[in-house]
Structure 1
Amino acid sequence: MLRSVFCSLFGGLGAFYCLAVASAALAKGPYCQTHNQKWGYPFEDLGGSYLQNKTQWEACVTPPRVVLWHMVLFSLLLGLGLLELLLCGIQVVNGLLGTVCGDCRKAGDREGVGVRALATIGV
């Protein structure tokens, strides 16, 4: 159970990294060619306001529809990172409870369970 806790913590770190990268990418905007034929991040100084204002999307000429693609990709990564963080958190709690509590059943309830029980019934 303790190994499960460590693996889940490592997965949680990966989920946090995914959240950080997706958030930074959404804030910075896509790398594209603008009307003045220069490549760069035209939305970098806008602080993410380009996400709601579709008229600003026309600042990117090449590749076509890169702003929509960028938003969909990193929004999906953001959502999946949140889901992964939630599931890893639940697994950490589950593993810690399993490590601390162990098998919380009474000794009498555990009798007849396992290899001995299978041998007595002829399996």
Structure 2
Amino acid sequence: MCTGKCSRCIAGTLYPLVLLSIACNTMLFFPNWDDKYVKDGHITKEVKYMGGIIGGGIMVFICALYINLTGERRCCGNRFGMFVSIIFAAMGAIGALYSFMVAYFSLWNGPLCKHAGKWTTPFQTSNWTYLTDSGSWGKCTEPKNVVQFNTGLFITLMVTSCLQMSLCAAQIINGLIGCMCGTCTGKEEL
């Protein structure tokens, strides 16, 4: 497979992951499908860091756009374009890593919820044990089912960002090959 076609394939795979990342992070602003929690400021602080929107969304989207252009013959499908795609792929990997780290720390700390009449993060010192102890999820009285809601979406963000990092790493390798060997059959445009 030529490096240009590989670039288009990588970019085409990144686009739905970007949409998934943005959708998951956006849904996290509305626990229990209600906007009153975001209005009152009762959402997990990691949601406000917008790892899925900024990192796995915007940064990876910009990366995917350029990688897609790299696969086109008349645009950036030359050795220099492949070199620049390495830089964009690295930027995308950094964005995906940011999304992963925000999701990781959110799972570590647990959700912000009403516990014993006040808003707190009751699982912050549990060292991940709350994830497997569904009996402890009742500590959160409001929003209802917030532990399951946050856990599902943040795990989805972690998996999505791992896939994004892998694809960006593949583009870095593809870019190196395209930069050293040329993009396809030697019909490069200078």
TM-score category of the 2 structures, normalised to the smaller one: 0.7 to 0.9
State the 1:25 CA deviation: 0.4
**Unaligned residue ranges in structure 2 (runs of 5+):** 1-81
Q: Number of aligned pairs?
A: 108
- Partner of residue 10, structure 1: 91
**Unaligned residue ranges in structure 1 (runs of 5+):** 115-123
State the 1:97 CA deviation: 1.1
- Residue identity over aligned pairs, in percent, reads 35
- Partner of residue 62, structure 1: 142
Structure number with larger C-alpha Rg = 1
Higher relative contact order (CA 8 A, sep 6+): 1
State the 1:13 CA deviation: 0.2
Q: 1:94 aligns with which of 174, 178, 181?
A: 174
TM-score by length of 2: 0.54
Q: Are 2:159 and 1:79 equivalent residues in the alignment?
A: yes
What is the alpha-carbon root mean square deviation over aligned residues? 1.9
Give the counterpart letter for 1:66 in structure 2.
V
Q: 1:53 aligns with which of 128, 133, 158?
A: 133
State the 1:102 CA deviation: 2.2
Tell me: CA distance 1:33–1:20, structure 2 relative to 1, closer, same or farther (3 Å).
Answer: same
Q: Please give the per-residue CA displacement for 1:74-105, whole angstroms capped at 9, x wherever unaligned.
A: 00000100000000000000001111222585
State the 1:69 CA deviation: 0.1
